[in-house]
Amino acid sequence: MPRTVVIAGAGHGAGQVVASLKQHKFDGRIVLVGEEPYLPYQRPPLSKKYLAGEMPPERLYFKPESFYDDDNIEILLETRIEGIDRQSHAISTAGGNSIRYDKLVLATGSRVRNLPVPGADLAGIHYLRSIGDVEAIRSDLAKAKHIVIVGAGYIGLEVAAVCRQMGLEVTVIEMAGRVMSRVVSEQVSNFFEKLHTRHGVDIRLSTGLAAFEGDGKLTHVVTASDERIAADLAVVGVGIVPNTELAQNAGLAVNDGIVVDDQCRTDDADIYAIGDCTWHPNSIYDRYLRLESVHNALEQAKTAAANICGIETHYAQVPWFWSDQYDIKLQIAGLSQGFDTAVLRGDPASASFACFYLRDGILVAVDAINSPREFMQSKALIANRARIATDVLADPDVLLRDLA
């Protein structure tokens, strides 16, 4: 076994690397280096219960502090890694320290995509990625009446739901012609658009952002068609960028993420990468992917840790995600991109239905709305590339479990 494992980044995936190394009885030195001031924590509640004030901060943490009270684990927070010297097997930090590794795990995640429009520096404009971001949003929310959300992806719509439930006026502007267009089909987009409209959110589709306006502090959001929408606060959720610079500067292969194989190894045998920052193969879809999901970060972390400990492990997972908006839970298994047939099971008007996606007759994904059974039971069918007749999928009386 290697003597020292250094983990670059102290996010969700990094926490799981530590947990899995401990589980495999790794007895060398583990050094966790993260630029944020927090121990590894879960980001999903940041746009849901934590933003709503319904979750205490201690429940955000992946593991309690006592979990890391192990002589072998060293944690360096508020420490940014600036470079990797592959020759001497060492990372260098912004503070000028150098730390040697036998195996390095890059778990650097992603950062928000910024919108470089006029007025972007005004007070009252927020992005949402970290605990610190939520604290800043909450402090402004306490004084706000009207919030504009830029981008109708998962995060934007989750924030919209929380703000409506706080009684704020909410406008969402979205450049695409439908909400969550990157991840769900038209049927499911329509359901969520109606859901938000029913809750009083003003959704403006096919609407670009031109500028933010205000005198030091945001007062209006200006759309590409020159409309001015009053706003005390704006939250921008227009996607993320993988943190690949460390890998790239070290000469590792990078595509839309750090390139790894199905054992989470980069093209340097002593450097692994996991989570949001990776460009990795998926054998079920027979292509490379970059995923922004907790499940992927945790599973890649387990894969990397096992391989570091000499237990050969290959990553082969059906991707899955979820989103909570009002009393609706959306669960997505698989990837629907490129589907040729969509099949509804149940009635969207009942707020409990599933939309299955097939490609060449093979089930590739499901969007399950308040339908946990369809979500759970579809995973095995997707993994097995099952061929299922559309009338069978549409029939709520057929248990998918019996088809697996």
Residues that bind ligand FAD (CB under 6 A): 8-14, 33-36, 43-44, 46-47, 80-81, 107-110, 128-129, 155, 243, 246, 275-276, 292-295, 297, 321-323
As a whole number of angstroms, the distance between CA 229 and CA 71 comes to 55
Of 11 and 334, which has the nearer Cβ to ligand FAD?
Answer: 11
Closest to ligand FAD by CB, 183 vs 388, is 183
Minimum CB separation of residue 4 from ligand FAD in Å reads 17
Residues in the chain: 404
Indicate the Cα dihedral angle 77, 81, 84, 89, nearest 10°.
Answer: -20
Q: What is the DSSP string of 176-193?
A: SSSTTTTTS-HHHHHHHH
Of 326, 334, 380, which is closest to residue 351 (Cα–Cα)? 326
Q: Rounded to whole angstroms, how far apart are CA atoms 194 and 370?
A: 16
Q: How far is the CB of 396 from ligand FAD (least distance, A)?
A: 26
Residue 94 or 230 with smaller CB distance to ligand FAD: 94
Of the pair 107, 306, the CB lying nearest ligand FAD is at 107
Q: Are 273 and 266 a contacting pair, CB within 8 Å?
A: yes
Toward ligand FAD, which CB reaches closer, 159 or 358? 159
- What is the C-alpha to C-alpha distance for residues 345 and 357, in angstroms, rounded to an integer? 11
Question: Shortest approach of ligand FAD to residue 41 CB, angstroms?
Answer: 8
Shortest CB 358 distance to ligand FAD, Å: 24
Cβ contacts of 95 within 8 Å, gap of 6 or more:
79
Q: Which is nearer to ligand FAD, 42 or 390 (CB)?
A: 42
Shorter beta-carbon distance to ligand FAD: residue 17 or 354: 17
CB of 390 to ligand FAD, least distance (A): 29
Nearer to ligand FAD, 8 or 221 (CB): 8
For residue 84, CA distances in Å to 7, 80, 277 come to 12, 12, 16
- Nearest distance from C-beta of residue 220 to ligand FAD, angstroms: 25
Residue 127: CB minimum distance to ligand FAD, A: 9
Q: In the structure encoding, which two tokens stand for residue 118, read together?
A: 């006029």
Q: Shortest distance, CB of residue 11 to ligand FAD, whole angstroms?
A: 2
Long-range contacts made by residues 358-363, C-beta under 8 angstroms, separation at least 24? 358/388, 358/390, 358/393, 361/387, 362/386, 362/387, 363/334, 363/387, 363/388, 363/393
- Of 110 and 336, which has the nearer Cβ to ligand FAD? 110
- State the Cα–Cα distance between residues 129 and 370, nearest whole angstrom: 26
The residue nearest ligand FAD at its CB is: 11
Distance, CA of 282 to CA of 275 (rounded, Å)? 13
Residue 103: partners with Cβ closer than 8 Å, 6 or more residues away: 2, 4, 5, 6, 270, 271, 272, 308
Type of residue at 132? G
Instruction: Using DSSP, state whether 219 is helix, strand or coil.
Output: strand
Cβ at position 228, least distance to ligand FAD in Å: 28
Smallest distance from the beta carbon of 170 to ligand FAD, in angstroms? Answer: 17
Tell me whether residue 223 or residue 325 sits nearer to ligand FAD (CB atom).
325
Query: Is the separation of the CB atoms in 332 and 184 below 8 Å?
Result: yes
